[in-house]
Chain A
Amino acid sequence: MNPLSIAATFALTVLAVIVVFLVVTTYNSIVGLIQRIDKAWANIDVSLRQRHDELPNLLSAVRGIMSLEQTVFEEVARRRAEYRPTAPIPDQAATSEATSAAVRSLFAVVERYPALLSQHNVAALQAEIARLEGIIADRRELYNDSVYLYNTRIAQVPAVLVAWLFAWKPRPLFTAEPGDTVRPDVDLRFH
């Protein structure tokens, strides 16, 4: 083997190493993105469940004093009952947004009842649900960022080739379709 052949072999080896490195790194990177999306979704799911479990406590705590606010109660209860952990992500997003809107309306009505606000358990439940709402919002943002990174990555070179090879498809964002999150019609006048 003459020196020029050795040099050519060396050049091809270097190029092969670069190509293999890019393919392996890209594959691992996309697998990592998929895992992060699944984890981010699991974390949202935990928060949605927690809110689902906490809402009846708040409703039962305020129901006695706010007996005239049936519309608000019914709206919150109806939205809560729509929670389906196995439903497709866009459907869950719509339900979650509608529940958040109903909860915000409930909080707005509770503000009109000073007797309720002074009760320690109501304030604590309200704070807990507000905290969960904040966590859901933060985690939804993280999930959507992760999905955005993944969807962008599998559309770019060289990942697009690897994605085609492994039939990886874009993932849905956790956002409700327009119209799915119509704010409940709640009468906020003082009764």
Chain B
Amino acid sequence: MTTPADAQMLGLGAVGILGGVGLLARGFAGYRQAGRIGDTATSRISGLAVGEVRVSGSIETAEVQLTSPLQSRPCVYYRSTVVQSEGRESRRIFHEERSVGFRVRDETGALRVFPLGARWDVPDRYMDRDGLMSGPPAGLSLRVGPSIRMARTPEDDQSDPIRAMQIADLLTVHGTTGGDNSEQIIGAGGQGRQYREAALEVGETVTIVGTVLRFDQLADPTAADQDLAIMEPAGPGAGDPEIAADMAEAREAGTLADDARSAWGNAAIPGFGVGRPVTAPTLDPDATAPVIEPGMAAEAAQSAARTFDIAADTLVLAAGADRPMLIAAGTPGASAGRGAQSFLIGLLGAVLAIASAVAVAIAITGGAPR
């Protein structure tokens, strides 16, 4: 007969087996990732050849940059999660992962990176929780305004780019009703919340294993630069069954349109959270071209060339046809070290699973064998 203590032991043993096997699987993934980074020598950007390479350098913004939701950091990638604890239950109330194209620079040059479909190895930098009585943690600085904004390059202000960014921030009118305003989505704060955020900030060291190819060989350069949140095939959150159920319910109630076209016509603009235009625009042949001052036109053209134009034969870094790009925070050694650490934890998981299996067996047989 099974006693409550035995049942408890069986339960714990089952959790130990499953948890241990799960840790082992994660360890295998970490080992493979560490191998992929550690087995590739770092290429200098000036001597790149087409094919798979590893480059390491500091992050520079390209056309646009992101602002992280929980710490309002300027970055090119973020992953933010808020978990609400209610008694013994906890539920994820916010999760957002986004990236935009950027440049990586080493001592020999810079390379444009198109991160579509990349695997990101970026550890959490910010982990905090609400105080019992004091409300939101001091380090929480919820984003006010849009998540994507135009990036300013050092060429825009040779004297002091950071100061220029600060001035631009001060001069920007931040709307209070922005669609991706974190404060509106998450709320000003609460009790029993855990906050986690990982971000790749401008100026940080990053290691990338990806495929170098000519810009004109990218299958779809526009798509390659889309951020993850709006590139999900069925829309943001489609992979989450809870969100999918909410969306189905909203469609049935008639509060959610079937597709972007019926909701927005041709007004869906990438970067504003809706998606790309649903039809090609029709230009009026009789429309009068706007008059641009000659000096302004030259300046605008230079600025556009600097920020947007990529020559067809320029080498860029993107995902390969058969291997995804891997983008890891830190130097190659740091990234490979994280993978090796994950493998060691996986081995401990294997030990845990075996020990749990033995404990379960002993519980079932009713005691240690004599």
Mark A residues whose CB is within 8 Å of B. 2-4, 6-7, 10-11, 14-15, 17-18, 21, 25, 29, 32-33, 36, 39-40, 43, 46, 134-135, 137-139, 141-142, 145-146, 148-149, 153
Contact = CB atoms under 8 A, between A and B. Distances in A.
B365 interface: yes
B248 interface: no
Contact of A36 (B24, B41, B365): B41
B39 A11 contact: no
B41 A138 contact: no
Q: Kindly state the interface size class of chain B when it binds its partner.
A: 20 to 34
A29 B35 contact: yes
A4 B358 CA distance: 7
Interface stretch (B44-52, B228-236, B279-287): B44-52
Nearest to A6: B361
B357 A25 contact: no
A177 to B, nearest CB: 23
Interface of B is mostly: helix
Nearest to B347: A18
Given A21-B28, A29-B35, A145 B42 contact: yes
A33 B39 contact: yes
A153 B357 contact: no
12 contacts: A3-B364, A4-B362, A4-B365, A7-B358, A18-B350, A21-B31, A25-B31, A139-B47, A142-B41, A146-B41, A148-B41, A149-B39
Given A11-B357, A25-B35, A149-B39, A142 B44 contact: yes
Given A3-B360, A11-B357, A138 B46 contact: yes
Given A3-B360, A10-B357, A29-B35, A142 B43 contact: yes
Nearest to B365: A3
Given A4-B361, A6-B361, A146-B40, 20 more contacts: A3-B362, A3-B365, A7-B354, A10-B353, A14-B24, A18-B24, A21-B31, A25-B31, A36-B41, A39-B51, A43-B49, A135-B46, A135-B47, A138-B46, A139-B49, A141-B44, A142-B43, A142-B44, A145-B41, A149-B39
B61 to A, nearest CB: 26
B108 interface: yes
Interface in B1-54: 17, 21, 24, 28, 31-32, 35, 38-44, 46-47, 49, 51-52
Contacts of B357: 6-7, 10-11
